[in-house]
Structure 1
Amino acid sequence: MMESGNKIALVTGGSRGLGKNMALALAKKGTDVIVVYRSKAEEAEEVVATIEALGRKSVAVQLDTANVHTFDAFFKSLSVILQEKWGRNSFDFLINNAGIDRRSAFADTSEEAFDELMNVHFKGVYFLTQKALGYMADNGRIVNLSTGLARFSTPGYAAYASMKGAVETLTKYLAKELGHRGITVNVVAPGIIHTDFTKNAFDAHPGLEDYMKTITALGRVGMPDDIGGVVAFLCSDEARWITAQRIEASGGMNL
């Protein structure tokens, strides 16, 4: 009989930033991790090595989550990996974390930038999750990533935040449609976090950090460690009765 702690999580965008932190937080709780990366193979392998050093199994797999047409081939190769490395034909947790940043004022947003955001943040999430269903174990977990920007408005993120709002609605529908399989579906919405994703914004606006502190109840900007544990908790047995929920981890921004 397989040990109860030997769950397998698939984390998109798992080679860096928040995804890396989620992967490590899951591993520290006893979960094996499939680290999905788009282009940073070396960074992904470093995450795998760190997870293995924690005593868990891990593997890095390449996928561009914006390219829906590659999903079938991805899952076919993943099923081989699951058999070879775990002796299983399924995994337990899907973390839809991969993301890109295309900041622009509404009036200046190009169709190209809109489509790039849409393909990663909504279309990719929708169809990757759909394709994953045949490879997910019953009583599993899906965690989608949203943003505080879906609750409050910051000019420059109209397209990005709208797609995250769509993900929040999708989360509720998935929770209802997958409930019969015991799969919970929740969304985590970070506030502003110090990662390579936000580095350009902090570098370009020297006063940004001080301003963010003033609008955040806990008085600081978030760190990746503030998010990974929330995702790991939602994948734990303790969170088994939580589904269709939006959990904002922003330190209390714009209250």
Structure 2
Amino acid sequence: GKPDLGLVQARWSFVNKDENLLTRLQNINLCFHFEVEQQVNGYFLNFFGFNGTAGVWRIKALEDSGGWLERTTVEDMDIAVRAHLNGWKFIYLNDVKVLCELPESYEAYKKQQHRWHSGPMQLFRLCLPAVITAKFNAMVSGLFQLGSAYEWVVTKKTGRSSESDLLALAERESKASNEDKISRRHSESGLEFLGKIQKSEAVSKKKKNKLYRKELALAFLLLTASARSLLSEHGVHFYFLLFQGLSFLVMGLDLIGEQVS
């Protein structure tokens, strides 16, 4: 019923997840990958990385994308990127589980992770020209927005002042200093001037923190999800959601950074 559908991906379920500490940690990490990353990408973008197994491809999608290539160690991700660039859509089914196994020894785990992390870098180098060609307009728009987004996150959300804020602050302080000097020469003594400075500093220290409603709403959502995960049968995402929720709560209450009046 969907002619542009190229891939249907299911999730992994591990038969040896309780074998040892290493397999339990891998299970937590990969469950987060499937239940959060894959689901979100599939729902909002209709694209995610093919996991190599537990998926069904449309033959026409494979043929239009050039088929399987042995140019990287992540041929599953390679075909997924090329299919997406050709306009094919993906669907992820989290309720369909396919049994598989996890590496039980550190040596096997190390080899697997080396392959999984070196392959994407190879793929990035090979697919970058195609990505630039296909997504040129979006990339240019993103570049124009990158500077303001970086300043908003780094300066505003951490309480630091941007360059324009610092210049404006310096200009105000310079004008105030000149005015204070003139008024002090005509009507005030040095002690009265010092008393006013101390009083103004005391008032500025009482400045209330600003509340960020969006961050607080997201913190509430994450903390609620962490509580639900804790009360569930497995609760593997409790720590992920808890620390993320606390981070957004601290940011939403404006408890970090410096206050500049």
Common fold, TM-score beyond 0.5? no
Q: Larger strand proportion, structure 1 or 2?
A: 1
TM-score, scaled to structure 1: 0.26
TM-score, scaled to structure 2: 0.25
Greater Cα radius of gyration, structure 1 or 2: 2
Q: Larger helix proportion, structure 1 or 2?
A: 2
